[in-house]
Structure 1
Amino acid sequence: MKGDKSKAESKKADSKLAVKKGAAKGGKKAAAGAKDPNKPKRPPSAFFVFMEDFRKEYKEKHPKNKSVSVVGKAAGEKWKSLSDSEKVPFVEVAEKRKKDYEKLMNAYNKKLAGGSADEEESDKSKSEVNDEDEDDEGGSEEDEDDD
């Protein structure tokens, strides 16, 4: 009996520790999860391009269906049943969207890299201008004192 109590107590302690660890992990994840709203969205795969059309067709045939999972399962079954030649149009659209996404990401990355460099240069130029102004003012005051 005494052994049973110690096991129960250790289980309680383990569960308390597990909760604390989970809470700490959740806090870190939330802090690291700050996303830039200007960042382009990733492009859909060929299956998701197929899903766009399939959802419309499925809703027309089954207007009373409100379940997302049923639509997803039906789409998955239909996608698996399609031959490679039937999937080609969806794959082409997905590849086109991927190329567009890559262009947008390159522009986005250049903007991020360029934005920080511009700020540094402008700060440097401001400080250099201020330093020169201070030197000129300080020099002119010294000249006045010497007179």
Structure 2
Amino acid sequence: MKGGKSKTEAKKPDSRLSVKKGKGGGGTAKAAPKRPVKGAAKDPNKPKRPPSAFFVFMEDFRKQYKEKHPNNKSVAAVGKAAGDKWKSLSDAEKAPYISKAEKRKVDYNKSMDAYNKKLAGGTGEEDESDKSKSEVNDEDEDQSGEDDEDDEEEDD
């Protein structure tokens, strides 16, 4: 044997060194998942995040691009052309899209505040408000009934 070490001797040190498993590096505790669990349900009533200035620009650009290139079916081609066009725009040309995006962000923040208040209140307040409405209606009916009786007694 000319090489010195046999194959088994070369494998032993490697097998001892390859103790690490996974990415985290040596620890036995698992890292928290970075993405939400697939089974987690999203609330359909939650407002959507507002688009950035680029995506506001994309709304207009898609319409123009489809008019010029009606046979193009490639989403990637539209996105690439839009990105190139956005990069070539000056700050003054981007300003209307930026202002629209900021306006949408303000609207989003308002709707998120309302959404969070609704969540904080929970379903308990809705039940209480329903009960209070029915109780108020019952009281009104009772009072109106009493008033009718009083009117009848006064007439006599």
TM-score range, shorter chain: 0.5 to 0.7
Q: Which residue of 2 aligns with 1:69?
A: 76
Q: Shift of the alpha carbon at 1:64? A: 1.3
Q: Which residue of 1 aligns with 2:138?
A: none
Classify the secondary structure of the residue corresponding to 2:37.
Answer: helix
For residues 117-144 of structure 1, the C-alpha deviation after alignment (integer angstroms, 9 at most, x for no partner) is: 537979xxxxxxxxxxxxxxxxxxxxxx
Q: Normalising by the residue count of structure 2, what TM-score does the alignment of the two structures yield? A: 0.59
Larger Rg belongs to: 2
Give the CA RMSD over aligned residues: 3.5
Evaluate the alpha carbon distance shift between residue 29 and residue 107 of structure 1 in structure 2; reply closer, same or farther with a 3 A threshold: closer
Q: Quick check: which one's helix share is greater?
A: 1
Q: Which residue of 2 aligns with 1:55?
A: 62
For residues 72-122 of structure 1, the C-alpha deviation after alignment (integer angstroms, 9 at most, x for no partner) is: 111011001100111111111111111110110000000000125537979
Question: Where do 5+ consecutive residues of structure 1 fail to align?
Answer: 19-24, 123-147
For residues 10-68 of structure 1, the C-alpha deviation after alignment (integer angstroms, 9 at most, x for no partner) is: x9xx9xx76xxxxxx88x84356421110000000010000000001111111111111
Deviates more, 1:30-39 or 1:74-83: 30-39
Question: Where do 5+ consecutive residues of structure 2 fail to align?
Answer: 1-6, 23-31, 130-156
Where has structure 1 moved over 2 Å in runs of 4 or more? 1-8, 28-34, 116-122
Query: 1:92 and 2:99 equivalent?
Result: yes
User: For this pair of structures, how many residues does the alignment match?
Assistant: 117
CA distance in 2, matches of 1:119, 1:60: 50
Bigger RCO of structures 1 and 2 (CA < 8 A, at least 6 apart): 1
